[in-house]
Amino acid sequence: MAATRVLVLNSGSSSLKYQLIDMESGDRLAAGLVERIGEETSRLKHTPLTGGGEARDTEGPIADHSTALKAVAAELSRDGLGLDSPELAAIGHRVVHGGKHFTQPTVIDDAVLKEVERLIPVAPLHNPANLIGIRTATALRPDLPQVAVFDTAFHTTMPESASRYAIDVKTADEHRIRRYGFHGTSHAYVSRRTAELLGKEPEEVNVIVLHLGNGASASAVRGGVCVDTSMGLTPLEGLVMGTRSGDVDPAVIFHLMRVGNMSADEIDVLLNKKSGLVGLCGENDMREIRRRIDEGDEEARLAFDIYVHRLKKYIGAYYAVLGRVDALAFTAGVGENAAPVREAAVAGLEELGLAVDAELNSVRSDEPRIISPEYARVAVAVVPTDEELEIARQTYALVHDSADRND
């Protein structure tokens, strides 16, 4: 029996998302999510996507990621899709921080685990959860290739002029301080799909990608290669996000320490958890913000305006970085669904060849689509992201190609 399936695991700080995909047929066989790991009210939602099985939703304490993955394996087994299946070719793990070292998806061995562990200080929430996911999956199927697909990998092509902060070189290098960028799997997938939508090869087009979810980042992609991105050493830099501030004057931090008597940890929580849209208007869901704006809420209006102003600054900056732009692509929860954000971000940029057609912009669809009018020089696109499929694709390409070479 041919091994054509990939299980994708995305271990967050308190969650575990998974999908089982057949790479030859393109079918998604199962998907699910374990939420609130480590709490009393953990929840496992499992959905078989072929074979007509019922979706199952179980609540009850799940102590850690290792228990969560074992529960997921049991659910998959109930649908005849267990981890012991000979059709499983590999397990692909999303790993948030791969540092400078990992530029490609990588088959995991002890040296890779050590390096991911070494990067914990720059990704304290994510890399430990990713490591537990990898170790548990390896214990369950030690014979199977486990592949790490790094969120940072797509951005490792950034030139030094974009990736280096203008701080003392020795200090920066000693502490590995540089701009790494995140959401790389999404930026890679969306920039490639945008080229396809234009009927071009990725090498032929320059794209600005706006990944606007609860976390948000922009990237400038020249000919399929990332040349700049808005997140930095950590996912805090750049755009205004659901709960993160994005760019601030770094002096805000020592001002708060000296004048506000706040500790480094308190400021960390302030900027990562209590800022962005939540900090500005108490709400991080763009739907709710739009509803409040419609009711005349000034606080929500200002939060929206600050969010859009930052977006515009990055569009302008990346336009200048790229010199020529063929497409601007919106993706993730806000980018795919919030037509008012797309409209406002592009408003007034006609001189740059950017415009949105109101009617096309208002269409709701899961398909990639162009929303700019025909006359516009730059295509504005909505391209739903699919990080799981991209992780599966990269994982399968790696194990499949090496299997071919060994034949």
Q: Is 76 annotated as a binding residue?
A: no
**How near is the Cβ of 358 to ligand AMP at its closest, in Å?**
17
Q: Which of 26, 81, 73, 27 is nearest to 53 (CA)?
A: 81
Is 337 marked as binding a ligand?
A: yes
To ligand AMP, the closest distance from the beta carbon of 51 in angstroms equals 27
Q: Structure tokens of 243?
A: 């709960």
**Residue 151 known to be catalytic:** yes
Q: Which is nearer to ligand AMP, 32 or 99 (CB)?
A: 32
Q: Residue 181 or residue 242: which is nearer to ligand AMP going by CB?
A: 242
17 among the known binding-site residues? yes
Interatomic CA distance for residues 182 and 315, integer angstroms: 18
Q: Is 35 within any annotated ligand binding site?
A: no
Q: Using CA atoms, how far apart are residues 222 and 92, in angstroms rounded to an integer?
A: 27
- Contact partners, residue 294, CB within 8 Å, separation at least 6: none
- For 313-326, letters b (16+ CB in 10 Å) and e give ebbeebbebbeebb
- Cα angle, residue 215 at apex, residues 5 and 351 outer, rounded to 5°: 110
- 79, 143, 151, 386: the catalytic one is 151
Nearest approach in angstroms of CB 331 to ligand AMP is 8
Least Cβ distance, residue 294 to ligand AMP (angstroms):
13
Q: Which residue ranges make up the site for ligand AMP (CB under 6 A)?
A: 213-214, 242, 284-287, 332-334, 337-338
- Binding-site residue numbers are 10, 17, 94, 211-215, 285-287, 333-337, 387
Active site residues: 151
- Binding-site residue numbers for ATP are 17, 211-215, 285-287, 333-337
- Binding-site residue numbers for Mg(2+) are 10, 387
